Amino acid sequence: MYTYSEYDDAYVRRRVAEFAQQVERRIDGSLTEDEFKPLRLMNGLYLQLHAYMLRVAIPYGTLDSAKMDQLAYIAEKWDKGYGHFTTRQNIQYNWPKLPDVPAILEALADVGMHAIQTSGNTIRNVTADHFAGAAADEIEDPRPVAELLRQWSTDHPEFQFMPRKFKIAITGSPNDRAVTKAHDIGLRMVRNEAGEPGFEVIVGGGLGRTPMVGKVINEFLPKADLLPYCEAIVSVWNTLGRRDNKYKARIKITVAENGLDTFRALVEERFAEIRPEFTGVDQEILASIEKEFTAPAFRNATAEAFDAAYGADPVFRSWADTNLAEHRVDGYAIVTISLKAHGQTPGDASADQMRVMADLARRYGHDELRISHEQNVILPHVHKSDLPLVHAELLRAGLATANVGLISDIIACPGMDYCALATARSIPVAEQIATRFDELKLEHEIGEMKIKISGCINACGHHHVGHIGILGLDRAGVENYQITLGGDGTETAAIGERTGPGFAYDEIVPAIEKIVETYLKERESAEERFLDCYRRVGINPFKLALYGEDAKGRARAA
């Protein structure tokens, strides 16, 4: 894992000291809120519905136990004993007090973390495949490149006042677990005909009020050209992007309005201009970063303990079947720790739970942890023989929910329980859906299902790419939930289609039940996933189930 250089450490501490003074001046009245707001946002500090919220970056979702322990310490000392992991691989604290924030940032700096560029019109935290470095299907670990992008984008003088925020996601695998097609820039590692690794560059994806699947701007970009090419893209957009209308400011609109070919031509032109300035220093830096991401010393041992537990313990077996993924090394597994206990807030972990996860990483996981955009925590490298012990400790900590990829593994934004932008609640909807399907004992029968819930049109909950997407709106002073079906956030990305008029707060869970019943009735076999069934039969059976015979009429009226 990358450790801060002296330069990084000094930079982060300078920023903390600067912000400490700004907070002081705000509290003593020398700064007005209008003056202070942009300064606090530069440091990830928002003011939400009930309190301040501090958003801390977890670069490309990678942590070690010391960092996770420190997140737990912060949660306990300055917050209410928990933290919320987000769809951008960040952690949010919902209750910090303004005078405490500099001390929190100092505590983060102590473990090489910060909250810089987690807000504002800058390049945000670069997100990555949460199985990076461990996945069996991976070409190369994308995290060194993600770290290079982090260093390049942090405080980049050209990119501090852009038309809008800018998000980059990267994956080293053909199976896209990083939703690269819904980002401003998506980078997917591929090999060219000579077998060399490079990147397929996707541009102009995004969710929000105008959801768009990103388009391939470059089918194969050599690794050495990555920084100048990304810089060219951001630079062209920074000049061309609409600053007159924030709803048209994101790069997806720039690409759509100008056309991909025109945009590509401008990028190529800019690239030709700046490429010579990249004299190879970036590649030297990348090479030194790569050394910090060498694979752990995997051990060679038998997996007998795993096989024995798998045969004897049905609880372990069920967990192993849903929460483990294939590791690139024989004898190892990738463990997904579900932060989706039925009826609980998706993505929340208590300080105690964070410490348990840190401890497991230290003892059994080569000291590595990941945060997924699906709001779960990953132990990327666990030897199979250790899994029964890991599972037993997770059980004790309330962290052994066996539901990864199932209907209760729901992504939900904070919604109107916390967020000042929200138009409806998301968390209680997620809690109720999970509880309901747990009662029905149907979730394993249903199989792979991705429900994603956003409490406003900004789509932090990725509802557009949920197999079932739920969008909470304010309709004439009442919470109302629209449903979309058939969304997909993987390499076969698709935006979900709206079923029709929305549902009231107390109608949404029964509506989801009707959709699931319809799927179970329509599917050809238990092997046909919801998404595949939907693609085969289309939206009509679901509309009929939701709205009855007047489905057509109501759909028109919507």
Partner 1 sequence: MARAFTPKVVTANDLIEGDVIYLTETDQWTRHHNEAELIEDEAHAQLRLLFASGQPAKVVGAYLADAKAGPDGPEPVHFREAFRAKGPSNYAHGKQETRA
Site for partner 1, rule CB under 8 A: 26-29, 32-33, 47-52, 80, 94-95, 97-99, 345, 348, 416-418, 425, 427-428, 431, 474, 477-479
| Residue 318: exposure state from Cβ atoms within 10 A (0-12, 13-18, ≥19) | middle
CB of 516 to partner 1, least distance (A): 24
The residue among 188, 189, 205 whose CA lies nearest residue 260 is: 205
The C-alpha atoms of residue 303 and residue 58 are separated, in whole angstroms, by 32
3-class state of residue 311 by DSSP? helix
The alpha carbons of the chain give a radius of gyration, in whole angstroms, of 23
CB of 389 to partner 1, least distance (A): 31
CB of 53 to partner 1, least distance (A): 8
CB of 425 to partner 1, least distance (A): 6
CB nearer to partner 1: give 29 or 314. Answer: 29
The residue assigned the tokens 């997620």 is 430
3-class state of residue 416 by DSSP? helix
CB nearer to partner 1: give 398 or 447. Answer: 398
CB of 43 to partner 1, least distance (A): 15
CB nearer to partner 1: give 84 or 452. Answer: 84
How open is the CA angle 519-460-339, to the nearest 5 degrees?
70
CB nearer to partner 1: give 428 or 501. Answer: 428
The C-alpha atoms of residue 116 and residue 148 are separated, in whole angstroms, by 16
The C-alpha atoms of residue 1 and residue 62 are separated, in whole angstroms, by 8
CB nearer to partner 1: give 46 or 229. Answer: 46
Using DSSP bridges, classify how beta strands 411-412 and 127-128 pair: parallel, antiparallel or unpaired: unpaired
CB of 482 to partner 1, least distance (A): 17
The C-alpha atoms of residue 310 and residue 552 are separated, in whole angstroms, by 50
The residue assigned the tokens 């912000």 is 19
CB nearer to partner 1: give 29 or 280. Answer: 29
The residue assigned the tokens 């670990």 is 141
CB of 488 to partner 1, least distance (A): 28
Residue 239: its H or E element: helix 226-240
CB nearer to partner 1: give 98 or 555. Answer: 98
